Chains A and B, each alone.
Chain A
Amino acid sequence: MAAHLKKRVYEEFSKVVQIPHEETPAKKLRLSKPSKSAALHIDLCKATNSTDALQYLLQFARKPVEAESVEGVVRILLEHYYKETDNSVRLKIASLLGLLSKTQGFSPDCIVDDAINTLSNEKSHQVLAQLLDTLLVIGTQLPESPALRLRLVEVAYKHLSDTYFGVRNKCLQLLGCLGMVDAPVGKENEGPGTSLGGLRDVQSIISDYFGDQDPRVRTAALKAMLQLHERGMKIHQIIYDQACRLLTDDYEQVRSAAVQMVWVLSQLYPESIVPIPSSNEEIRLVDDAFGKISHMVSDGSWMVRVQAAKTLGSMLQVSPHFLEQTLDKKLMSDLRRKRTAHERAKELFASGEFSSGRKWADDAPKEKLDTNTVNLIASGACGAFVHGLEDEMFEVRIAAVEALCHLARSSPSFAEKCLDFLVDMFNDEIEEVRLQSIHVLREISTHITLREDQLDTVLAVLEDSSRDIREALHELLCYTNVSTKECIQLALLELLKNLNKYPTDRNSVWKCLKFLGSRHPTLVLPLVPELLSTHPYFDTPEPDMDDPAYIAVLVLVFNAAKSCPTMPALFSDHTFRHYAYLRDSLSHLVPPLRLPGRKQVYGLDSVDSGPGSGSVESAQLFLQQSLNRVSTIQNLEASGAQDLLDLTIRDLQRLGELQTELAGAADFCATYLRCQLLLMKALQEKLWNMAVPLCLKQNVTATAAAQQILEETYKLEFLYSGLESRQVATIHHVRLQAKALQLVLTARTRQGLDLLIGSCERFLQDVESFQRLFLTELPHLQDSFVDKLLELMPRLSSCKPVELVKILQTTLRQSGLLQLRLPEQIHRATATIIEPTGESDNPLRFTSGLVVALDIDATLEHVQDPQNTVKVQVLYPDGQSHVIHPKPGDFRKPGPHRHRLITQVYLSHTAWTEPSQIEVRLLLAYSSSSTSLTSPSKLGWSESLESLPAAEAAVEGTIPFSKAVKVFIMPKPARR
């Protein structure tokens, strides 16, 4: 063991020494750099045929090239380029040039001329295209050089007339990326009468290629135009007609780009007027564009449909009259007239038309009514969303739902109209779409009031077996306005049904009823006697207080009563008692009420119901005062210090319970102080005065204390979010103290010198790394343990272990308490396991050796990156424990700083004779290396961390951060 440890020490030793060595390999690399280009040169010369050369180039491309040697490499490549006859090799070289000019720290302006020169001599179209691509890369690398741009743009003009589509594509791309935004690009250097003509701006040149014979070039032209727009050039309105024509192109990618183009123009010139062809009317451009894009929602290609549906959502300036057409498929067929005509003429039934599908022959059309008014192929936006929402591909449906959401948010009347359609979407076959439409409805629900029949369809979804859907719906109900008291009753009934069917929804249902009640106090009022089943003359039996359904009703009533002072008069006696009970047990659901004739309740409540912010402030003040009080302790040995700490810890803990906003901070402080207290107690043990051999027994408590402090510091560091580097330094400081304590204790108990040497080395290393990590924080740590240690550092590193231990011991005892400064926001990561509840008496039976899945549902608060850190631990009665990593997909994020873990863990065990309980809890895994590197708050010193010897870095572990839940399981022996 000792030998092993010694070996480890030396390993670490050697690593520390190696720090200066690490720079030498870098030097070596630099030496090898010229040889790299040289090697390439040699390789290329060696290549006898093109295949070989290509191979060499491919190999070369796999390795990165340093910025300084790029130019050399480029020269060699170019040299070879001129000599090369094979197209594919030249192509590869051209592409390599592009890659190389992307190298960081290399300015490609020096190779522009060469690239342009090669362009003029090139015969192969493919190579030409690749060279233009290289130029594009170079051009985008050098955005601040107008002269260069002008040159490149001219090159692009020259090659625009190439016969190969790829070349034209690249030219257009070049123009799009580099064309001048501000001034029209003239061709001053060319005489008049050239094919392109005198002053022509980039836009008109690009738009010439809208009619190119190759669809790829058309797409490229549109994309180039969009690129220009993105770069801030104002696209001319003339383009609009051309873009509209491309909407009917044969190729989907052209249509898709055209949709974008039309959209861009509609945003640029929403108000300008365009004529409607084949009539004298004129409409706003944005309306016209909207109509045209709506048309694309029934395009043949689903990619275009998605694009069109998405685009519609962002056209907010469209006239409401157009907007409403998108939901009306039947607008032109004049359905209403048709229908009324039909109710009168029931005899038409015989003709047997079946259409709307609701009623037999409800709207078989009477031809004379239709023929002239029915416009089957809509000239406007007719029914775009009806189509989109019925689309075959769920991508289109989702896009349509989202677009509806955007449009509805800006137009209340539209929101009202689209309600029915959204409600229909609750019935979609794909859950994602259902969920999305529920979310959308929630977002627009401020605009709408649900009618009874609508609410009815909405509520039908409450029976959905998917928890996500149900919870989304609860969320929706929280924000919904309903119109009548029947609606409230209906909602309550359905929610209770839901509760009955899925008892796990309890919390969510209660929360939903809370909002429902507080939103509609006047609607709840007339229902109260019925809900509480009170009777004017007779006393009714007191309901069971543990019934979740009854609690649900009470939550609704109490929340309504908050803003309806007349309501409590209707309560019966037990209701008040229940109120008091619920107010205490479910304080987040039951608001404080002013109850007449209940003075004591009223009095108690008024304290709580005082202005919320004020109480937080006072609590904050209290917290600060407590900390200040603690900071008066100068010396850990001072009398009464322990009592003070004890008291403060107790205060803080209570404060955390009372004031949820400050729970994190209070807990943090309390834990920190507990560490100090432990340290203090450990140091005051009698053992320090005893002779070493005598104290073997007594120091058990001290060792345990040191261990506990260590654990607590890890909790402090990783369980709380919002820490600044100041606090991290403080935590590390405590840890260092604990380690020192451990070292001292080791020195006193064990006599092995090797061991001691090892521990000393490790400790010194810790001190060093502490110094490195918290260099900026050191000034704040004056007069602390570390401060003193660092003063003594030169002596420490040279002295013997025994001496070191002595110094440590005295420093530990002399050093004062480091004052804790609180950061702005500090939150403790918490987790609550909602399911399993641990209340079930029915054991989960399964055959031993096989697995059983246990559903776990938990909420996590203030956990950063839960996908990587949160684990589930299962503890079997025999002490076996399993740690399970949930899949990243099992985490949902319902709100900021909140996560929801819904997963299944697989249990298995050999057979038991009796059902027994296993424990399930959540763990937060941490690793000192990973978190300190990733956490953004500590980025300030992360650079210095890189040079750390690796041995120090990773301390890994887990912190249990949820209450354990017990589950009965019963593995049975397999029957043969």
Chain B
Amino acid sequence: MPEIKVTPLGAGQDVGRSCILVSIGGKNIMLDCGMHMGYNDDRRFPDFSYITQNGRLTDFLDCVIISHFHLDHCGALPYMSEMVGYDGPIYMTHPTKAICPILLEDFRKITVDKKGETNFFTSQMIKDCMKKVIPLNLHQTVQVDDELEIKAYYAGHVLGAAMVHIKVGSESVVYTGDYNMTPDRHLGAAWIDKCRPDILISESTYATTIRDSKRCRERDFLKKVHESIERGGKVLIPVFALGRAQELCILLETFWERMNLKAPIYFSTGLTEKANHYYKLFITWTNQKIRKTFVQRNMFEFKHIKAFDRSYADNPGPMVVFATPGMLHAGQSLQIFKKWAGNEKNMVIMPGYCVQGTIGHKILNGQRKLEMEGRATLDVKLQVEYMSFSAHADAKGIMQLIRMAEPRNMLLVHGEAVKMEFLKGKIEQEFSIDCYMPANGETTTVTTNPSVPVDISLNLLKREMALGGPLPDPKKPRTMHGTLIMKENSLKLVSSEQALKELGLNEHQLRFTCHVQLQDPHSDADTLHRIYTHLKSVLKGYTIQHLPDGTVIVESIVIKVSSSTEDSNTKVLLLSWSYQVQIGPHSTLKKVIVT
């Protein structure tokens, strides 16, 4: 039986450094090639030595597919392609291809320039790597080689995020990457055909959560910002440069527009501006509202949001500032936070997850006195709010996707093991399909039952149609006669005559014969005649012929009479019939004659 093997090198029962190997129909595919944020050593990147101990990966992989531009999905790409060595095709969507290098370059700068690491990929390597990338369009079927084809579906999550459908022959796998089933302010919801893949590899970040309605969250967020602004306070929103930041920007921008507010909104410069440029370009990847209105006005051309300058932080009056990074651990957001922390009118809104040890984590935890470097302490008087704007599918969303795609097997990655366990149980219970959750390096094997396509000759089909009922009933299988020819890797079902002709074989006829002994004193000819008359009287409705050469033919059964060599009274009756009649009328005949 053919098998599909799935081995996560990263993201197996874990979040981070997504990298999943799939071998399907003799093809090896790498899905995502990410890095782990939590490590600074070798564990940062997936263990490519799993594929081969030495040498390049090109011989072992048919293609690499990157689902979206987050570093935990594409961070190890230059390392793999340039340092380990891979020259095959890399597929990603257009926006991913555009934004990915910016993030990689930023990542490189931080690790090399700031932390001073050596033996890291260089800018040139990023460029070289990007040259190998083949861009994908949504719903475009790309033929990687003769047998392997891939197709991208919209995944929400971030700009350009895609789910991929990988197909070899009749076997197929869908990899979701990260996806979001609820639309947000700038992106739509993930969608997929009823493509019935053999395996659906899904992320499961929120395997145990059913989220509240998005609107409540948005409303709360806007209300808090609005109230604070009306009080004359300043609002700090620490964000990571891409993804949520844009959503929040749109949210605030439209709110400002609607409510006719005048307080300035600032966006810390740098990376974001470049990325915003791409958001403006890839309008087709955004949600309905932005797509429909961009002719009048591109929503990403912000009217109220301006670039931030360090000096603005001291300006009097209300303002809203988006600043990086999102966990308040360094950089601009921290600087601003320090300036504003003392005033209770101000507010900081944390729109996402904060790692333990960061200031973001501390203040969310309710700490009101922070120790800064140099033994100084900082009184936190400003209000601290938490607002989740994470764009992963929740448990309901995952179930919804399963319902949409109707997979035969399910495989969970990109989540915590405990939570996966829960979801796995649910999936098995609801859909009664197998669900797997391999750990890193663990291989899951799924046997498939591929249907084998066979060409059938039209004549044969028509003949069969003519024989049978009015229409082929799709629910009932039907048997038919024909010859299966396997030739040069293709299968054909043809009529036997044609098969003989094609293969250059002679037709052999199979005849069944049997001898029946009778005690009859008459001569051979008389006996035959008597049999003939008897049959005529008994078998009405059959054509019975008495041929001059001493045979009686009933339909296609031949009867001959000869005398036994020992006893002339014992007549030997020779019956002979062809294979086709075997099932048919001969039994009756036999019965008749015997009696």
Contacts and interface: CB of A to CB of B under 8 A. Distances in A.
Among A356, A360, A376, the most chain B Cβ lie within 10 Å of the Cβ of: A376
Interface in B219-242: 219-220, 222-223, 226
Given A377-B399, A430-B289, A250 B194 contact: yes
A211 interface: yes
Among A350, A356, A457, the most chain B Cβ lie within 10 Å of the Cβ of: A356
Interface stretch (A225-233, A383-391, A807-815, A966-974): A383-391
B471 A161 contact: yes
A390 B213 contact: yes
B215 A392 contact: no
Contacts of B395: 374, 376
Given A333-B210, A350-B356, A357 B217 contact: yes
A241 interface: no
18 contacts: A211-B475, A213-B474, A330-B210, A353-B209, A355-B206, A355-B394, A356-B212, A357-B220, A360-B386, A377-B431, A386-B213, A391-B183, A392-B188, A392-B189, A428-B215, A457-B223, A463-B258, A465-B258
Interface in B441-484: 469-472, 474-475
Contact of A195 (B353, B426, B431, B470): B470
B365 interface: yes
Top 6 closest pairs, chain A to chain B, by CB: A357-B388, A424-B215, A392-B183, A161-B470, A360-B386, A356-B212
A356 B388 contact: yes
A803 B395 CA distance: 98
B425 interface: yes
B464 to A, nearest CB: 13
A576 B509 CA distance: 121
B191 A501 contact: no
B210 A298 contact: no
B211 A355 contact: yes
A391 B289 CA distance: 12
A464 B365 contact: no
Given A195-B470, A376-B396, A392-B288, 4 more contacts: A300-B191, A371-B425, A427-B218, A464-B258
Interface string B252-271: 00100111100000000000
B169 interface: no
Interface string A442-471: 000000000000000100100111100000
B185 interface: yes
Contacts of A195: 469-470
A393 B217 contact: no
B83 interface: no
B404 interface: yes
A366 to B, nearest CB: 9
Interface residues of B, number: 65
A197 to B, nearest CB: 13
B390 A394 contact: no
A359 interface: yes
Interface residues of A, number: 53
Given A354-B390, A357-B387, A465-B257, A211 B215 contact: no
B212 A421 contact: no
Contacts of A355: 206, 209-212, 388, 394
B471 A163 contact: yes
A465 B471 CA distance: 64
B183 A460 contact: no
A243 B293 CA distance: 39
Contacts of B422: 367, 370-371
A427 B182 CA distance: 16
Contacts of A359: 386
A598 to B, nearest CB: 42
B523 interface: no
Contacts of A393: 288
A394 B293 CA distance: 13
Contact of B215 (A390, A394, A465, A501): A390
Contacts of A353: 208-209
A365 B395 CA distance: 12
B364 interface: yes
Given A161-B470, A298-B400, A354-B388, A466 B208 contact: no
Interface of B: 182-183, 185, 188-189, 191-194, 206, 208-220, 222-223, 226, 254, 257-260, 287-289, 350, 352-353, 356, 364-365, 386-390, 394-396, 399-400, 403-404, 418-419, 422, 425-426, 430-431, 469-472, 474-475
Contacts of B210: 329-330, 333, 335, 355, 374, 376
Among A212, A367, A392, the most chain B Cβ lie within 10 Å of the Cβ of: A392
A352 interface: yes
B16 to A, nearest CB: 14
Nearest to A363: B209
Interface string A630-657: 0000000000000000000000000000
B456 to A, nearest CB: 16
A425 interface: yes
B222 A427 contact: yes
Contact of B426 (A211, A330, A335, A374): A374
B223 A460 contact: yes
Interface of A: 161, 163, 195, 211-213, 250, 298, 300, 329-330, 333, 335, 349-350, 352-360, 365, 367, 370-371, 374, 376-377, 383, 386, 389-394, 421, 424-425, 427-430, 457, 460, 463-466, 501
A452 B50 CA distance: 62
Contacts of A350: 356
B190 to A, nearest CB: 10
Nearest to B396: A376
A287 to B, nearest CB: 21
A370 B2 CA distance: 38
A427 to B, nearest CB: 5
B194 A358 contact: no
Given A195-B470, A300-B191, A465-B258, A392 B364 contact: no
Nearest to B354: A352
A326 to B, nearest CB: 13
A300 to B, nearest CB: 5
Contacts of B425: 371
B247 to A, nearest CB: 11
Contacts of B394: 355
Contacts of B182: 390
Given A213-B474, A392-B183, A464 B259 contact: yes
A286 B191 CA distance: 30
A211 B386 contact: no
Contact of A354 (B219, B353, B431): B353
A394 B418 contact: no
B219 A457 contact: yes
Contacts of B185: 429
Contacts of A465: 257-260
B359 to A, nearest CB: 14
A377 B211 contact: no
A352 B214 CA distance: 20
A81 B209 CA distance: 68
A218 to B, nearest CB: 11
Contacts of A428: 215
Contacts of B399: 376-377
B216 A424 contact: yes
Contacts of A383: 396
Contacts of A391: 183, 189
A429 B213 contact: no
Contact of B418 (A212, A367, A430): A367
B394 to A, nearest CB: 8
Among A389, A424, A427, the most chain B Cβ lie within 10 Å of the Cβ of: A427
B208 A376 contact: no
Contact of B208 (A358, A365, A424): A365
A390 B470 contact: no
A300 B192 CA distance: 7
A357 B258 contact: no
B207 to A, nearest CB: 10
A389 B213 contact: yes
A902 to B, nearest CB: 17
